[in-house]
Amino acid sequence: MNIENIGQPFLKKFPGDFSNNPTQRNTPKVLFATIKPAGFDHPQLIAFNETLSEEIGLGKFEEKDLNFLVGSQLPDNIQSYATAYAGHQFGNWAGQLGDGRAILAGEITNATGKKTEIQWKGAGATPYSRRADGRAVLRSSVREYLMSEAMYHLSVPTTRALSLAFTGEDVIRDIMYNGNPRYEKGAVVIRTAESFLRFGHFELMFAQGEHKLLQDLLDFTIENYFPEIVSSDHQKYKDFFENVCIRTADLMVEWFRVGFVHGVMNTDNMSILGLTIDYGPYSMMDEYNLNFTPNTTDLPGRRYAFGKQGQISHWNLWKLANALQPIINDEKFLESTLNNFGVYFWEAHDKMLCKKFGFDGLRKEDEDFLTNWQGIMQELELDHTLFFNQLEKITPDTDLKEYFSPAAYTVLNEEKLRKLEDFIDQYQSRLQSNTISREESLELMKTTNPKFILRNYLLYQCIEEISNGKTEMLTKLTQALENPYQELFPEFSVKRPSNYDDTAGCSTLSCSS
Q: Does 129 bind ligand AMP (CB under 6 A)?
A: yes
C-beta of residue 341 within 8 angstroms of C-beta of residue 251: no
278 is in an annotated binding site: yes
- Name the residue among 348, 255, 349, 258 with its Cα closest to residue 309: 255
Q: Does 135 bind ligand AMP (CB under 6 A)?
A: yes
182 is in an annotated binding site: no
Dihedral-angle region of residue 475 (phi above 0 means left; psi in -120 to 50 means alpha; beta otherwise): alpha
CB of 375 to ligand AMP, least distance (A): 33
Catalytic residue among 268, 286, 366, 383: 268
Cβ neighbours, 10 Å, residue 452: 25
C-beta of residue 126 within 8 angstroms of C-beta of residue 82: yes
Q: Does 269 bind Mg ion (CB under 5 A)?
A: yes
71 is in an annotated binding site: no
Q: Does 203 bind Mg ion (CB under 5 A)?
A: no
Applying CB under 6 A, which of residues 210, 278, 298, 383 lies at the interface with ligand AMP?
A: 278
C-beta of residue 509 within 8 angstroms of C-beta of residue 296: yes
16 is in an annotated binding site: no
* 89 vs 116 by CB, closer to ligand AMP: 89
Q: Does 98 bind ligand AMP (CB under 6 A)?
A: yes
280 is in an annotated binding site: no
Q: Give the length of the chain.
A: 513
* 135 vs 257 by CB, closer to ligand AMP: 135
Q: Does 101 bind ligand AMP (CB under 6 A)?
A: yes
C-beta of residue 43 within 8 angstroms of C-beta of residue 166: yes
* 269 vs 316 by CB, closer to Mg ion: 269
- Give the per-residue contact string, 273-312, with Mg ion (x = CB under 5 A; - = no): -----x----------------------------------
191 is in an annotated binding site: yes
- Tell me the window of 73-81, 263-271, 326-334, 422-430 that interacts with ligand AMP (CB under 6 A): 263-271
Q: Does 97 bind ligand AMP (CB under 6 A)?
A: yes
399 is an active site residue: no
User: What sign does the CA torsion over 281, 485, 291, 414 have?
Assistant: negative
Alpha carbon distances (Å) from 115 to 12, 251, 253? 16, 22, 27
C-beta of residue 145 within 8 angstroms of C-beta of residue 481: no
The rounded Cα 310 to chain-centroid distance in angstroms is: 14
Whole-number CA gyration radius for the chain: 23
- CA gap 379, 211 in Å, rounded: 51
Dihedral-angle region of residue 175 (phi above 0 means left; psi in -120 to 50 means alpha; beta otherwise): alpha
- CA gap 71, 426 in Å, rounded: 57
- Give the per-residue contact string, 226-265, with Mg ion (x = CB under 5 A; - = no): ----------------------------------------
Applying CB under 6 A, which of residues 35, 245, 264, 265 lies at the interface with ligand AMP?
A: 264
Contact of residue 101 among ligand AMP, Mg ion, none (CB under 5-8 Å per partner type): ligand AMP
Contact of residue 511 among Mg ion, ligand AMP, none (CB under 5-8 Å per partner type): ligand AMP
C-beta of residue 58 within 8 angstroms of C-beta of residue 110: no
CB of 456 to ligand AMP, least distance (A): 17
Alpha carbon distances (Å) from 247 to 149, 201, 256, 342, 447? 20, 17, 14, 13, 21
- Name the residue among 34, 28, 168 with its Cα closest to residue 103: 34
Contact of residue 260 among Mg ion, ligand AMP, none (CB under 5-8 Å per partner type): none
Burial tier of 425 (Cβ tally within 10 Å: 0-12, 13-18, 19+): exposed
- CA gap 370, 332 in Å, rounded: 33
Applying CB under 6 A, which of residues 100, 127, 157, 484 lies at the interface with ligand AMP?
A: 100
- Tell me the window of 7-15, 69-77, 97-105, 332-340 that interacts with ligand AMP (CB under 6 A): 97-105
133 is in an annotated binding site: yes
Binding residues for Mg(2+): 269, 278
Binding residues for ATP: 98, 100-101, 121, 133-134, 191, 198, 278
Residues with a catalytic annotation lie at: 268
Q: Give the interface with ligand AMP as residue ranges (CB under 6 A).
A: 97-101, 128-129, 132-135, 264, 266, 269, 278, 280, 511
Binding residues: 98, 100-101, 121, 133-134, 191, 198, 269, 278
Q: Give the interface with Mg ion as residue ranges (CB under 5 A).
A: 269, 278
